[in-house]
Amino acid sequence: MAVQDASPTRGASPTCGALAGLRSIEMGQLIAGPFCGQLMADHGAEVIKIELPGEGDPMRTWGQGKPVWFPVIARNKKCITLNLRTPKGQKVLRELLEKSDFLVENFRPGTLEKWDLGYEKLRAANRGLIVVRVSGYGQTGPYSSRAGYGSIGEAMGGMRYLAGDPTTPPSRVGLSIGDALAATYACLGAMMALHHRHVTGEGQIVDSAIYEAVLAMMESTVPEYTEAGVIRERTGSILPKIAPSNVYKTLDGQILIGANQDSVWKRLAESMGRPELGTDPRYASHLARGENQAELDALIDQWTSGFDSAQVLQLLHASGVPAGKIYRAPDMLEDEQFKAREALVKVPHPTFQNLWMANVFPKLSATPGAVRWAGPALGEHNEEIFGGVLGYDSATMAALRAEGVI
C-alpha cells in the first residue's frame, strides 16, 4: 500500500472528523496555541486562524532549508487577517466569537483583557464559549505575567535537567516538546470542557501552562525526592538499573534493544548464541542485571557489532525481542509499517511539491480525521469568513481593508 496522498481540497469546508460542526477561533502564534488548533482541525473542527494584516504568524518563515513548518501546523485551518489592536478589529472578533465554540490563544496573560476581550465579556455574548488559554506559567500566580517560552517551561518543569548525557550540560530534546505538550493538554482540556457544555450548556476557561504540562510528564521524580531523597540525574541512553535497554553498535550503524524483562532477556541470550547467560546469576534477575548493567551492555554491544543492523533485527524480531532502528526522515518514508498505516501523507501545495508530513493521530474507526489541505496563504479565507460567516458586504470589507483592520 502506498503512503497516503492527501486530496487537493484546499479551502474546502471540513466534512469529516469527530469535531466536524464545531468552530474554533485561533488567535495564537508560533507553536503552543497553534498546535492545539492543528489538533482540532485535524479532527474536523473549522479552525479560523487570525493573523496580523501584512505580517502573519512568524511560523510562516520557519523551517530548516525551506519554510515548511507553517504548512504543517496550519494545515486544515482557514486563515484570515484581522488587527486585534484596533477597536474595530476587536468588534469583528467579538462577532466571530458569538458564532464559535472555542477561542484558542497563547498570548501573555492579560493581553485579552487589555483588548477588552476578557472572558466575562465574551461569555455574556456566548455563554457556551470555551476559552483555551496557553501560556508559560498559567493565568494566575506570581510568575503569570512573565514572558514564557517552551524552553523555559521545559527547564522549570524538570525535563531539561534530565535530557542529554551526564557529562554535558542539560540538552534540548531536539523538538519544541514543552510547547507541544502544553498544546496537547490544552486540546484535552477543551474536549473535557466540551463534554461539560453538553451537560450544562456552559463554557469555561481552559488554562494550560507549559511548565505544568511538562511537569505532568515527569513520572515519579518528585516523590522519589520527597520519600527517598533521590534526585534523578541525566543518564544518556540508558535507564539506570533497568537492563538491557540501550543503543548498541552494528556494522552499519546502531540499533536500540529493550530486553529488561526476565523472560525477554532469556530470549535475547538465546539469540546471541549464549543461552547460559539467561540463567547466569549476574544477569538472571532484574535486580542482578541492574547491578551489572555496564558489563551486560558491553557483552551485547560486542555481539551486535559483528552484524549488520538488518541481520540483528531479523533475528531479534523472530525471537520476540523488542528492538528497532533509530529512525530519521528517510527511514520513515521507506518503512513498510509507516506505509501500511498511512502514517505519512503527501499534501498538495502551490510552492512545495514534495510536502510530506505526519498524518492525523490518533486513528478513530468511525470518525477519522484527515489532512485536507496545507497551511493557507495569509488572508486566504477573508472573503469566506467575513462575507460568508459574518455577512459583510464588499463595501464594508473594502472600508475595513482601507483602515488596516483586515
Q: Which CATH class is domain 245-333?
A: alpha beta
Where in the chain is CATH 3.40.50.10540?
4-218+345-402
Q: Which grid coordinates are listed for 218?
A: 515527569
| Rounded distance between C-alpha atoms, residue 164 and residue 160, angstroms | 8
**Which residue(s) pair with 85 in the sheet?**
none
pTM of the model: 0.91
| Rounded distance between C-alpha atoms, residue 158 and residue 295, angstroms | 30
Where in the chain is CATH 3.30.1540.10?
245-333
**DSSP-assigned letters across all residues of 139-190:** SSSTTTTS---HHHHHHHHTHHHHSS-TTS-----SS-HHHHHHHHHHHHHH
- Which single residue is written with the C-alpha cell 472578533? 93
Determine the pLDDT at residue 213: 98
* H/E run at residue 324: strand 323-325
Determine the pLDDT at residue 16: 83
Helix (H, G, I), strand (E, B) or coil at 273: coil
| Rounded distance between C-alpha atoms, residue 247 and residue 80, angstroms | 47
Contacts of 271 (CB under 8 A, 6+ apart): 315, 316, 319, 321
| Rounded distance between C-alpha atoms, residue 67 and residue 100, angstroms | 31
Determine the pLDDT at residue 375: 97
Low-confidence ranges of the chain (pLDDT < 70): 1-15
How is the chain split among helix, strand and coil, in percent rounded to 5?
Answer: 40, 15, 45
Q: Is 335 a catalytic residue?
A: no
Fold for the domain defined by 4-218+345-402: Rossmann fold (3.40.50)
- Which single residue is written with the C-alpha cell 510552492? 351
Cis peptide before 142 (omega within 30 of 0): no
Catalytic position from the list 42, 57, 179, 207:
179
Candidates 25, 63, 13; CA nearest to 372 is 13
Determine the pLDDT at residue 15: 59
